[in-house]
């Protein structure tokens, strides 16, 4: 069962939740857009270079792009869970 962390000062005011949501959405967009470009460039590089060193570096780039993407997704899902639980 998922444990939800509650604010010791009571529920967040609606305006604070709204501003927090706007900030997180903007941050996610600012991270996802360049991350998509990096991922696409890496895929193009993989398709054009079969060198083993290039493949190693490309794998590192791909894994870390996936990790960053998953962090953004997890953050958004956790925030949505918290907001739904407060109501």
Question: CA 80, CA 37: separation in Å to the nearest integer?
Answer: 27
| Contact in structure between 62 and 39 (CB atoms under 8 Å) | yes
Span 13-25, average pLDDT: 80
**What average pLDDT score do residues 4-30 get?**
74
More confident residue, 31 or 9: 31
Give yes or no for a contact between 85 and 4, defined as CB atoms under 8 angstroms apart: yes
> What HEC string does the chain produce?
CCCCCCCCCCCCCHHHHHHHHHHHHHHHHHHHHHHHHHHHHHHHHHHHCCCHHHHHHHHHHHHHHHHHHHHHHHHHHHHHHHHHHHC
pLDDT of residue 84: 47
| Predicted confidence (pLDDT) at residue 8 exceeds the cutoff of 70 | no
Query: Per residue in 24-82, pLDDT tens?
Result: 888 888 888 889 999 999 999 888 887 888 888 999 999 999 999 888 888 776 655 54
pLDDT at residue number 18: 80
């Amino acid at each position: 069962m998922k444990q939800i962390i509650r604010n010791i000062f009571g529920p967040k005011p609606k305006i604070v939740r709204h501003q927090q949501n706007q900030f997180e959405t903007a941050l996610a967009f600012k991270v996802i857009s360049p991350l998509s470009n990096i991922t696409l460039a890496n895929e193009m590089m993989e398709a054009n270079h079969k060198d083993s060193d290039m493949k190693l570096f490309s794998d590192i780039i791909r894994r870390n792009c996936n990790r960053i993407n998953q962090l953004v997704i997890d953050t958004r899902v956790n925030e949505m869970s918290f907001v739904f639980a407060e109501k």
